[in-house]
Amino acid sequence: MSGIEGMEVKEKQKAYCLQSWSKQNYIDPIPVEKGEGIYIWDYEGNRYTDMSSQLVNMNLGFGNQEIGNAIKEQVNQFCYVAPSYASKVRGDLAEKLIALMPENMAKVFFTNAGAEANENAIKIARLFTGRNKVFSRYRSYHGSSFGAGNLTGEPRRYALEPGIPGFVKFFDPYVYREAVEFDSEQKASEFYLKKLEEQIWYEGPDSVAAIVMETITGSNGVIIPPDGYMKGVRELCSKYGIMMICDEVMTGFCRTGKMFAFQNFDIAPDLVTFAKGVTCGYVPLGGVIVSREIAEYFGENLLSCGLTYSGHPLACAAGNACLSYYEKAGIADHVNEVGAVLGKRLEEMKEKFACIGDVRYIGLFSAVELVKDKKTKEPLVPYGRDPEGVMKKILGMLKQKGFMTYSHENMIIIAPPLIITEEQLLDELIKFEEVMKIVNE
């Protein structure tokens, strides 16, 4: 294909499509002709490496034949049937998901994506508890629809304000930027848990339906909770009859080296939301997994939730193929092996460059936090603003080298497809280090 055709593809998108989170006059999308594995090519034959799994959803990369074949087989049977009908692929996928969960989990409500999963999770929690308030964290992103956007804590919620009554924000266990120095992770957890419990008291424990958390904060910095924190939140929820909802939309399906991130902390949530890696983007799908207690409640009480495309057969076919591939290919073990290499290289760069204040990583999920001053930890760009386009320039330099990812605040996310090899990873990190040298000057 020619560059002329690629230009036509780009210009048509710019002319007729609104692009998310962008000032439309300044977008410059790459016209993609094909993708394979961890790579995409434009119409001029330039190759780019997908180092963010697109939007941290294409865990198994481009062109997975097993997923594609599963979708084709379902097309030949039927493409759609309403949620009120029984579908083999839907029931099979739900059964597989429950088998991956702790013993307390029982049923799945399917949605189309992560935002809808979180919308329905808080709705289910409110119906089940009869309470109205929902806690979520400031450094969080749970979606941009109205309910999920009110759950969200970071600046993308501003467009929805004034928001819905009953949504309460609390602070993340963001130890790197805390004003208090802690002797240990356990001490940090004690501090954050005491503050959270105090806030529950102030809001009235009997009014709080749920505490919603990205198990590991995603685009807002891959903030990994300190030792004991997640167990402590579980204990607070149990103590006050609050539903613990783990948002696994980004961290689910082997991203952290476990099938779900909460398994790193030996806890059993009441509800789990998922999307992204369940189908790796081949067909949109999300869902809410609920405990046996919640499932039994809705045996006799109306589940006032419904979506036309809930559990879409083509999406469920893709989901079944993905889950089979994760297990058959030993993806979780591979993520742990290659993730150890990623962590080692990031630590080396942190020691080497004054512009890197912190690196955080688990499995193939990582963030590099850029600072102006390593001692004061002053961010490279102020929170919620980048007036001089500094981060955009850094991404531009990476793009020139074919290293494709995204930034958020003063963080650069590195979360490649889970099929990346050690050799491929090291090649790409050379490019990243070359750009960090320039930033450091």
186-235 pLDDT, tens digit each: 999 999 999 999 999 999 999 999 999 999 999 999 999 999 999 999 99
Mean pLDDT of the chain: 97
Distance CA 134, CA 138 (A): 13
pTM of the predicted model as reported, rounded to 2 decimal places: 0.96
Residue 3 scores a pLDDT above 80: no
Residue with tokens 């949620």: 83
SS3 47: strand
Which domains, ranges and CATH numbers included, belong to the chain?
3-63+331-440 (3.90.1150.10), 66-328 (3.40.640.10)
Token pair listed for 113: 């994506």
User: Averaged over 81-105, what is the pLDDT?
Assistant: 97
* CB neighbours of residue 58 within 10 Å: 24
Whether residue 414 contacts residue 368, with contact meaning beta carbons closer than 8 Å, is answered with: yes
Token pair listed for 118: 């979180």
Residue 11 scores a pLDDT above 70: yes
Q: What is the pLDDT of residue 371?
A: 97
Distance CA 60, CA 81 (A): 27
Q: Which residues pair with 156 in a beta bridge?
A: none
Query: Which residues have CB under 8 Å from 347's CB, separation 6+?
Result: 359
Q: How many residues does the chain have?
A: 441
Residue 1 scores a pLDDT above 80: no
Q: What is the pLDDT of residue 439?
A: 96
